Amino acid sequence: MRATAPSIILTTGVGKFVQLFVRLLAGIERRRVAALGETSDHMQIKNFSFGATAAILTSIGLIIGLDAATATKATILSGLLIVAIADNLTDSLSVHIYQESERLEPRAAFHATLTNFAARLGLSLSFVFLVVILPLRVAVVASILWGLLLLTGLSYVVARTRKLPVLREIAKHVAVAAVVMLSSKMIGHVISA
């Protein structure tokens, strides 16, 4: 059997990290689903995937944009931490209010909010870690690679869960990430000019 790109990625440390993180949050979600009597697989991953995608793309965009604007390492770290905490809290509150407006049971709305917050915080802090331990130029490249690997792993899990063509879903999501990266870089260059 020939290994495909997604299977190779998922056998790497990054793929295993993504799978472990998804399984951890999916386990929490499964307990919530069982307690509420819900049966949808969609409910098990939707809150995690929203938070994870937002954390990955926001972190990559921020790192690339601020680096293009010739920001210092301290400035980039400050931006990442603000996104990891303040933006994360506001997005989580938005998810919570939306869930309440949909008349979701209060406990389910709380779990959705918590899952979103945990996913975003954990993944955002992984980018902070890269910027802290690596020289800035290396950290920018490592963050792009890390983000693309995480996004690919998440896209793989979501596509498999939804029984969609994996490579097509990965390509769509990576294309959006490319738009985020290019627009962030252009904005950074415009600001620094």
pLDDT value at position 81? 96
pLDDT value at position 5? 47
pLDDT value at position 128? 96
Low-confidence ranges of the chain (pLDDT < 70): 1-44, 47
pLDDT in tens, 126-180: 999 999 999 999 999 999 999 999 999 999 988 988 899 999 999 999 999 999 9
pLDDT value at position 9? 46
pLDDT value at position 94? 87
pLDDT value at position 79? 96
Nearest to 6 by CA among 124, 134, 126, 148: 148
User: Which residue stretches of 69-135 are H helix?
Assistant: 73-82, 88-101, 106-133
Query: Please, what's the b/e burial string for 103-117 (b: 16 or more CB within 10 A of its CB; e: otherwise)?
Result: ebeeebbebbbbbbb
Question: Would you state the structure tokens that stand for residue 68, as one six-digit string?
Answer: 């293009």
Tell me the backbone φ, ψ of residue 173, rounded to 5 degrees: -70, -40
pLDDT value at position 84? 93
pLDDT value at position 15? 55
pLDDT value at position 124? 94
Question: CA-CA distance, 174 to 166, in Å (whole number)?
Answer: 12
Nearest to 140 by CA among 149, 151, 131, 148: 131
Report the percent of the chain where pLDDT is more than 70. Answer: 77
Question: Would you state the structure tokens that stand for residue 163, as one six-digit string?
Answer: 């029984």
Question: CA-CA distance, 69 to 190, in Å (whole number)?
Answer: 8
Indicate the pTM of the whole model.
0.77
Question: Are 48 and 183 in contact, with CB atoms under 8 Å apart?
Answer: no
